[in-house]
Structure 1
Amino acid sequence: MAGQRGEYAKSARRREEILDAAFTVFSRSGFTGATVSEIAREVGMSQPGLLHHFDSKLAMLEAVFERRDQSALDILSGRRDIEFLRGLVEISRRNHEKRDLIRLYTVIAAEATAPDHPAHAHFQRRFHRVLGGTQAAFEEAQRLGLLKEGVDPRAAALSSIAVTEGLQLMWLSGFDEIDMAKGAQIHMQQFLTVPL
């Protein structure tokens, strides 16, 4: 039994090493330019050995983004209405320390706007999930009387996501003075009757 647990731990560690290597290669080459053999070389494995852990380049990309998304989900877990929106601001604050990860996300998200891109469906699902959660938070705020009169929760959610994504892109483009968390907070505050 102890041997099985040891093998599982070793395999889990190896998967994390592969994801670190995939992150490096995707950051350098984008998804389209990256190859499985390049990722295998980066981690010091054979290509068949790597494919034992992840059956495709897309599976590695999705796992890299799942790690990214899990930290956001941890922040948002159990939050509703205003607290959910505060969680979004906190995610923007933490993203300031993850420039390489945000750059990778932005590059792949741009590539994946092409309908035939292998990650297109992944990004569609992600944006729908983020939009749905943000819209639900604004709707709950509205039910609690915390949303300004006449504000449409869906429009508020769409513009909040657009501002957050746009601030990230500008920050990556060299506008280092941008405070992404403050920008997101200021934008969402305009819809609310209480301090965010």
Structure 2
Amino acid sequence: MRPDLSLTLGALGLLGLAACGQATSPDGDIASPTGDRAISVSAAPDTATEYGKRARARVFGSDGERIGDVMAWQGRDGVLVQLDVRDLPPGPHGVHFHSVGDCEDTGAFKASGAHIGVADGPHGLLHPDGPHRGNLPNIHVGVDGTAIVEFYSNLISVAELRDADGAALIIHQTRDDLQTQPIGGSGGRIACAPFGGRS
């Protein structure tokens, strides 16, 4: 039986926001990657005790430079993900959670492994027998190279992002068609955000 999917994408705007200072959360985590954007991400809980837990990661571009942040907070039945990035090619890009929190092979990002849940069935949010647990909606980058987006998935948990080998959010070169195998025709990996693992 396929997992119930309730995944929504809320675009907060394809804007570059100029602001002063760098915000921090009450527990000291960085809430704004560069002082000019806010981001947050959340994942679905395995148990009620996971509710409210979170994971955060910096996003690195193909040259190894930091280009944004992502954070995840555990909801009662899913993950709320907020992603804030800059310096990306304009247009749509596939986004997926990969199984290893390792972005050290800058430019290739193959060390992040395959999608989380690749053994679950076919890739694709619109595939009749999919999706992988790591599948997410596309993001749309503005002409200024920035994207601030928010989406929700009940396919994954913060605990899985923070397990022994971590996980990585990968941004691909182009749009994921949400059906074609193995990655929806979304091309190479152009950005990587490692959670836990080798971050």
TM-score by length of 2: 0.24
Question: Which structure would you say has the larger RCO, counting Cα contacts within 8 Å and 6 or more residues apart?
Answer: 2
TM-score by length of 1: 0.24
